[in-house]
Amino acid sequence: MTVFDNMAFGLKLRKTPKDEIRKRVVDAAEILGIEMLLKRKPKQLSGGQRQRVAVGRAIVRDPAVFLFDEPLSNLDAKLRVQTRAEISKLHQRLQSTFIYVTHDQVEAMTMATRIAVMSDGILQQIDSPQVLYDNPSNIFVAGFIGSPSMNFGNGKLEQSDGKLVIDTGYMKLSTSSAKQDAYSKHVGKDIIFGIRPEDLHDPSFIPPGVANESAIAASVDVMEMMGNEVFVYLKVQDQDMIARVDPRTDFKVGDTVKIATNVDNVHLFDKETELSLQ
């Protein structure tokens, strides 16, 4: 069938008048930017164009809710980014509810107003993308949201010189002063700490306002130059960590370096339950 017939098929089954079918198909095609493709067959379309035709079939039915099940999984990287933006624009234009299933956390973070994170069929947390990123409820959510993933390590929460610190046995990390009261009831407990790669810095290029009370001694294993940033794979004793540092860094593979830590953004989790300590 042609693109027009594909988009009209559901309406024909519902015995919709021909004039109404044509109007709905043309209107949907204009929204999706595929009006020039209506006479083409599927084999004459690119992957992205086929995706838009599939969305068009849904739009013409004027549904209350759109259900998307990994619609971008078969597209190449560039087309995936382009189509992601198109679906977001479509959502803003139609003002309908979109329920979108994906394993790609970048898609979830960039497109959603609310995200439901699931593992093994169990809902882990539901909230806005920024809240999930800043305040994950457990280790699974913390590790899933963010790229590269959050760094995790084992430690014990202890009191030292009037402050709460995370003692890992080979380094000590300060905790946020704003969370001292919440953490104080967990002193002496074995915990898992988490810190995102962007909260580990080259001390020579620390962003303004970063509370860098803790410095970590580490060896540089691998460096990945990304242009606007550098991913640095570190070895801290037996612990592997990843840092996202300023591209002006002079770190080199094999160097032993000091890494500044944004203590305000260190996350703590109960070792047994894996739930966030609040």
Domains of the chain and CATH, by start: 3-111 (3.40.50.300), 115-144 (no CATH), 160-270 (2.40.50.140)
Peptide bond into 207 cis (omega under 30): no
Nearest in space to 129 (alpha carbons), one of 89, 100, 86, 93: 100
pLDDT at 177 over 80: no
Q: What percent of the chain has pLDDT over 90?
A: 51
Which range, of 90-99, 107-116, 179-188, 229-238, averages the lowest pLDDT? Answer: 179-188
Burial grade of 142 (CB within 10 A; 0-12, 13-18, 19 or more): buried
pLDDT at 215 over 80: no
Length of the chain in terms of residues written = 278
The pLDDT, as a whole number, for residue 75 is 77
How far apart, in Å, are the Cα atoms of 245 and each of 206, 233, 256, 260? Answer: 9, 11, 15, 10
pLDDT at 127 over 90: yes
The pLDDT, as a whole number, for residue 151 is 94
pTM: 0.83
Whole-angstrom Cα Rg for the chain: 25
Residue 171: band (very low, low, confident or very high) from pLDDT cuts 50, 70, 90? confident
Query: Residue 26 in 3-state DSSP?
Result: helix
Residue 212: band (very low, low, confident or very high) from pLDDT cuts 50, 70, 90? low
Section 84-96 average pLDDT:
86
pLDDT at 196 over 70: yes
